[in-house]
Amino acid sequence: MTQDLTTRLIHHPYRPPEGFEAPQMAVHKASTVMFPSVASVRNRDWRHKTGYTYGLHGTPTTFVLEERIAELEGGTHVTLVPSGLAAIAAVDLALLKPGDEVLLPDNVYGPSRELARHELATFGITHRHYDPMDAAGLAAMLTDKTKLVWLEAPGSVTMEFPDLRGLAAACRARGVISALDNTWGAGIAFRAFDLGIDIVMQALTKFPSGGGDVLMGSVCTRDEELGHRIKLGHMRLGYGIGGNDAELLLRSLPSIALRYEASDRAGRELAAWLGTRPEVSRVLHPAFESCPGHVHWKATCTAAAGLFSVMIDPRYTSAQVDAFVDALKLFRIGYSWAGPVSLAVPYDLAGMRGTSPYPGTLVRFSMGLEAVADLKADIVQAMDRALR
């Protein structure tokens, strides 16, 4: 019996073109993955990626992206999730249970702290903050309840670079899992697993995407058992990523090292120049001696992201600093850095951390891909207008 056209359009035989190799692979999308037989459903093995079972658990496109992120981080087991924050949540939810404690650096990425204060607290998981610049202090805080310690390098906004090796060693000595937010390092500035860290997450939203358009996160480990715990949690939570987003990441990854290097060069040039300006009282860039933890950056890293902060001298009010940022034309106001557009955001440190370590108002700059001379001219015209 001849099948209906609609049926034939759905069931037409299709094979990827033989002998066709191209730099980019096809984008595969699926909710349903069709099994050849009932026996193959019964014998399915999602854990070792020997086959495909369901769209949420991976497609040829996302498996390739997982392999490339493993390559980038120097790990073996990767889980992809819909944002960087979802990657933080995936680690917390997979590894913590009621009665457990998680420790966060006191300069942690803000939304990670909010997750601990709200959802984790509701589940009976407690958290405390530690000083990331004091590895011995962290060691002294670990108890039998402590199951996970988050690390971040450098710290959000204030940019202190911690002794990651020392912090990871303190965790290891007590059998506590360490997890690093490696969004700044991006797998380029240093090899996180070589420092003794157990889990490395990254907001792929930032450098790996590089476009300011895609949201995605990854969780990577070298430990098979940890990798499976995270995959199981991920499977139960139902975090999926879109095939087209995976395609954009696969398109961007080959240029990540070049973009990181350009961002680094521009960031150091601009930060050094800002340090000579009378309106700026301090430069907080890990590659500069004026930044706390510079010695750790030097011992750990071969590069730095073009993301740094400066303190605007306290003789200017925070309203004047706001007016300065508003007067910038090329630097736009926004959070998600490592795209093509340079960004500037003022922060009120006293409001964020209780007390501010420095006088004045902080402005965080992130480098896009514009010419540095144009960015300097933009800052000069905005300072001339607002900081007089």
Q: What single string gives the DSSP state of each residue in 339-358?
A: SSS-EEEEE-HHHHHSS-SS
Q: How far is the CB of 214 from ligand PLP (least distance, A)?
A: 9
- As measured in angstroms, the least distance from the Cβ of 213 to ligand PLP is 12
Q: Which stretch binds ligand PLP (CB under 6 A): 61-69, 79-87, 268-276, 375-383?
A: 79-87
Adjacent-strand bridge partners of 347: 362
Phi, psi angle pair for 326, to nearest 5°: -65, -30
Site for ligand PLP contains 80 (CB under 6 A): no
Shortest distance, position 103 Cβ to ligand PLP, whole Å: 17
- Closest CA relative to residue 117, chosen from 104, 130, 107: 104
Q: Does 382 bind ligand PLP (CB under 6 A)?
A: no
By Cβ distance, which residue is nearest to ligand PLP?
A: 84
273 Cβ contact partners less than 8 Å away, ≥ 6 residues apart: 376
- According to CB under 6 A, which one of 73, 163, 181, 378 is a site residue for ligand PLP? 181
Beta carbon nearer to ligand PLP, 108 or 287: 108
161 contacts ligand PLP (rule: CB under 6 A): no
- 64 burial (CB, 10 Å; 0-12 / 13-18 / 19+) is middle
Question: Any idea of the CA torsion for 194, 229, 220, 165, to the nearest 10 degrees?
Answer: -30
Those residues whose C-beta lies under 8 Å from the C-beta of residue 388, and which sit 6 or more positions away, are none
Other residues' Cβ atoms within 10 Å of the Cβ of residue 377: 13
Q: Is 205 in the site for ligand PLP (CB under 6 A)?
A: yes
Residue 89 or 311: which CB sits closer to ligand PLP? 89
Helix axes 372-386, 256-275, angle to 10 degrees: 40
| DSSP labels, 181-236 | E-TTTTTTS--GGGGT-SEEEEETTTTTT-SS----EEEEES-HHHHHHHHHHHHH
| Footprint of ligand PLP on 214-243 (CB under 6 A) | 215, 217
Closest to ligand PLP by CB, 55 vs 339, is 339
| Cβ neighbours around 172 below 10 Å, total | 14
Q: Rule CB under 6 A: is residue 109 a binding residue for ligand PLP?
A: yes
* Nearest distance, CB of residue 206 and ligand PLP, angstroms: 6
Out of 126, 290, 318, 336, point to the residue binding ligand PLP (CB under 6 A): 336
Query: Is residue 365 near ligand PLP by the rule CB under 6 A?
Result: no
Site track for ligand PLP across 296-335, x = CB under 6 A: ----------------------------------------
Please tell me whether residue 342 binds ligand PLP under the rule CB under 6 A. no
Q: Kindly state the smallest distance separating residue 104's Cβ from ligand PLP, in Å.
A: 12
Q: Which amino acid is at 31?
A: S
Task: Point out which residues bind ligand PLP (CB under 6 A).
Answer: 83-85, 109, 181, 183, 203, 205-206, 215, 217, 336
